[in-house]
Structure 1
Amino acid sequence: MRVIPQHRQDGDPQRALRAVRVTAPGRLHIGFLDLSGSLGRRFGSLGMTLERPVTRVLMENAAALSTSGPDAARAEKALRCAAAEFGVDESVKITVEAALPAHSGLGSGTQLALAVGVGACALSGKAIDPRDVAYALSRGARSSIGLGAFQGGGILLDGGKPVAGPRRQPPPLLSRIPIPDAWRILLIFDQERVGLSGGDETQAMDGLPPFPEALADRLCRLTIMAALPAAAEGDAIGFGRAVGEIQRRLGDHFAQFQGGRFTSPDVAEALRLIEAAGVPGVGQSSWGPTGFAVFGEAAAADDAARDLRRRFADRPNLVFDVVRGNNHGATVEVAPVPAHGATV
């Protein structure tokens, strides 16, 4: 998480803050590694952080609580939870200036909750660990990829959660590898579809077939012995081969609840074309419908995006974007109360 220093007008470090702007990155959830829990821990996740799209929230001290912008109701709920847990002031004006598309596989709920919770604490002068904010706001029930993306970005691996015992904080983050500067991620959005969330997601997770030990073994080996070493060495093809296989195996396991290996048939068609052109690192983030492809250089990603826009010109529901990775996580900008009521 990157905090931009305060610019105080009078040099008084105790002066209250008037405004806080938090920008939280979207993330790709590449997949769970072990849904069986036979070793005492369940889930375990691999993911990576994106330059865009983002959630951006402006929070200002005010006479009373008010919210506006996309996902305003969820922002208000997050603020009320943070106020109850950490004793921060609820008298805040929240403007959601930008929001990740909901139920698209990019972590919109977690990023909004963390942005509001961390922003509210900063606005009240309280330094609260984002991990504690995530726990208080009931984020990270299965995965810490969203939390890890917020805290510091990069390619992320978490260690899953114990099967038994009381509710614990989000899973421990085991690895964070910087995304190479040369890499690009081609995102494919289907604006006419949404992935599972909430109760539907819980029901689907509970209804999945048994997770074979051999599958968990293979996914863990692909992650530890292929994907992460390749990322550390800047090898996009090696990383992509591992990610592509993880996606195929998990997509088939989840197929009965998402209509096939991928949620969106249009995204699936685009991914097949990319893979046929020699790019192995293709897949779907979480429940989708957002698809992705990992490229080792910008020119190749831009060429692929242009070609896909041409091929799918008759399907306006599909949007293609080429983005960088994010290696710093969320950004927090704060400002003091201006003199004589001036606007920051």
Structure 2
Amino acid sequence: MSGGAPAAALRVEAPGRLHLGFIDLGGALGRRFGSLGVTLDEPQTVIEAACADRDSLEGPEAERAGAARDAARAALGIADRCAIAVRQALPAHAGFGSGTQMDLAVGAAVARLAGRPLPARALADLMGRGRRSAIGTEAFAGGGVILDGGRRPDREASPPLLARLPFPDAWRVILMLDRDRHGLSGAEETRAMAQLPPFPQQLAAHLSHLVLLKALPALAEADADAFGAAIGEWQERLGDHYAAAQSGARYLSPDVAQAAHFLRGEGVAGVGQSSWGPTGFAVVGDGPQAERLVEALRRRFASFTNLSFLCVRGRNQGAAFRSIGAAVP
């Protein structure tokens, strides 16, 4: 984030992300968690913020935006009034990192309007984000496919960034959304994590190998089949572990599970669930093929009114900032 004179009004576009999974939930090998994530071109959170005579809020998730504004002002020690309009909001508790992106987008706007822009990591610390995973913070900072190094047992600091690779232009991500389900978050997520069975050291070692010596090399070589095979296996292993907190199933949503099974039957290996779901995803190496698969999903699941399907690109840049001339209503 660059400095410069403060703007009177800003538009911030913060990308959603997929969280493909943790490497070591138990920390038996030294560091706990460790994450791989993919930044998405859409959906996203878009807010407009302006200096104003009085505070105001409008749009979807406005209450969340107001809480982020107040938290940022308190942390920065400023009292400037601010009008915020949420133009788009990521689906909440769906696996896109909606809370992190809203907090960072609003926090960044408040800081910039006050003439005090912050790097993404500093902003995340300010807003209390990124303690378990740095995927959301790094998606906001620079996009791409992100690997973080997990947390040290003796520190509360955000995990370090280990790698950021571009998502190939030709690849697509199919999103499978269930509007009737919500993933775990906050205290509920913390309780669920604590109730999971011990994470085997052997499994953590195997997942490390899958990520470092299969998934990331395949990504660097734009080998979608090899990348998908590694991610698909990782998702199966993690899904079995998380099943204790998901009614004994790999997927939070039984309907998304059916859609994922359909894609696997069509030869797509890189299928899984983002974070606690309910959103499912599939990585496809060819855009036209991905579009055809989405149309096939829409036909096959036409009677499932809770389901929707999108074909999206990865995003190889972080949040976008633009000064806007008119004050936010």
Match runs of 1:106-185 below 5 Å: 106-165=96-155, 167-168=156-157, 170-185=158-173
1:82 maps to a residue whose letter is A
**129-138 or 49-58, which deviates more:** 129-138
**37-46 or 180-189, which deviates more:** 37-46
CA pair 262-84 structure 1, distance change in 2 beyond 3 A:
same
Shift of 1:99: 0.3
Alpha-carbon separation, structure 2, partners of 1:82 and 1:90: 11
Match runs of 1:314-329 below 5 Å: 314-329=303-318
Which position in structure 1 is the counterpart of 2:260?
271
Alpha-carbon separation, structure 2, partners of 1:82 and 1:130: 13
Q: Which of 79, 84, 90 matches 1:94?
A: 84
- SS of 1:96's equivalent in the other structure is strand
1:193 maps to a residue whose letter is R
Shift of 1:249: 0.3
Shift of 1:82: 1.1
1:330 maps to a residue whose letter is A
Give yes or no for the alignment of 1:198 onto 2:221. Answer: no
Unmatched runs of 5 consecutive residues or more in structure 2: none
Alpha-carbon separation, structure 2, partners of 1:209 and 1:105: 22
Give yes or no for the alignment of 1:55 onto 2:45. Answer: yes
Give yes or no for the alignment of 1:292 onto 2:265. Answer: no
Alpha-carbon separation, structure 1, partners of 2:160 and 2:60: 31
CA contact (8 A) 2:48 2:328 kept: no
Using structure 1 for the length normalisation, give the TM-score.
0.92
Shift of 1:89: 4.1
- CA displacement, residues 241-280 of structure 1 (integer Å, 9 cap, x when unaligned): 0000110000000001112100011100111111111110
Which position in structure 1 is the counterpart of 2:271?
282
Alpha-carbon separation, structure 2, partners of 1:192 and 1:135: 32
1:176 maps to a residue whose letter is R
Shift of 1:328: 0.5
Using structure 2 for the length normalisation, give the TM-score.
0.96
- CA displacement, residues 82-121 of structure 1 (integer Å, 9 cap, x when unaligned): 1122234440001111000000010000000000011111
Instruction: Give 4+ residue runs of structure 1 displaced > 4 Å after superposition.
Output: none
Unmatched runs of 5 consecutive residues or more in structure 1: 6-12
2:81 maps to a residue whose letter is S
1:299 maps to a residue whose letter is P
- CA displacement, residues 126-180 of structure 1 (integer Å, 9 cap, x when unaligned): 1211111111211112101111111111111000111124x32x21111000000
Q: Which of 22, 29, 36 matches 1:39?
A: 29
